[in-house]
Structures are given as C-alpha cells and as structure tokens.
Structure 1
Amino acid sequence: MGCFQQRRLNQQQAAREQSLSEKSITSDEIDYSHINQLRQRYNELYPYKPLKFDQLSTLIDQNTAIIEWYIFPDCFRAVIITAEPPP
C-alpha cells in the first residue's frame, strides 16, 4: 500500500471516529430496560450453579492443573488441583 493510500485510510478512520464521538450518548439517555431484560433472560437460560471443590477435578484432563496462590504478609499458600488426587 502506498503512502498516499495509507494517508487516505487514516483520514477516513479519523473522520469515522469524529462522527462517532459526536453521536455519543450520555448515561442519562440510556434506557436500561432492554439490557435488564437480556440479563434476566440470560440468567434464566444459564442459572448460576456454584461448583463444589471435588467437582473441579472432573473439569480438567490428565495434562492440566489449576494452580491458585495466595500471598499473605507472613506466608505464601498454593492450592493445586489436578485430575487425580495426590498420592
């Protein structure tokens, strides 16, 4: 792509961004009812189901581990979850 073509594309992009910024909506103008309806429908289709600790290992394969660590002022703790229980 030549220098002229790149400059033209940059100008077009700048014009689009300017146009979008001029059309921006303030938070007072937003109708949240549709968003709330979508959120409610999503929660109906995919209800929150917390996992129990022993269910976590069923979600991973033999080559995967979940490692979570916590750093405290006086120590460091790690939780390692694998598909198989420790020996």
Structure 2
Amino acid sequence: MFTVKIVAGVAAQSASLKADALDFLGYSANYTISLAVTGLALQLRARAALLKGASLLLFGLWILGSTVWMAVAGTLPKAETMDSSACWY
C-alpha cells in the first residue's frame, strides 16, 4: 500500500497522499520493530523505541518541508490523481 500511495502522491504532487503513504510505512515498521524486540532486554526495547521515535520525527519533518516547499512554489495537487488513488484500497 505504501508504494501505491507514494507513487500517487508524487504523481499528484500531493503532500497529503505522501503523508498517508508514510503513515502506512510508519505503522508497518512500528509493528515489525515491536514484534522483533518483544521479549528482549529492556535496554534493547528502549533503543528500539528511540529508533521508532526518531524515524517518525524524520517522516514528519520531510512532510512539513515538502508542504512548505509546495506552498512557496505555488504547486497545487492534481485532483484527478488524488480522486483515483482513493479507490485503490
């Protein structure tokens, strides 16, 4: 789902679709990391939580930067692509 949404977001020049794609990626990575460290030492679980938090911060900064860039450049999303991407899932 991430790939479909990110491709549609780039094609439509839509920060919203890219943010949604990163949300999918973030959730799947979060669950994967959480399952991988289940039962490990507390220190390893704390490091995994720090890694998850840092990655979400980077995703958020990327979306914020992308949104500001598009606003300054005056780029508008392509509504045709955004409407059709909503039907993909």
**Same fold (TM > 0.5):** no
Provide the TM-score with structure 1 as the length reference.
0.35
Q: TM-score, normalised by structure 2?
A: 0.34
Higher strand share: 1
The structure, 1 or 2, with the larger RCO (C-alpha pairs under 8 Å, 6+ apart) is 2
Greater fraction helix: 2
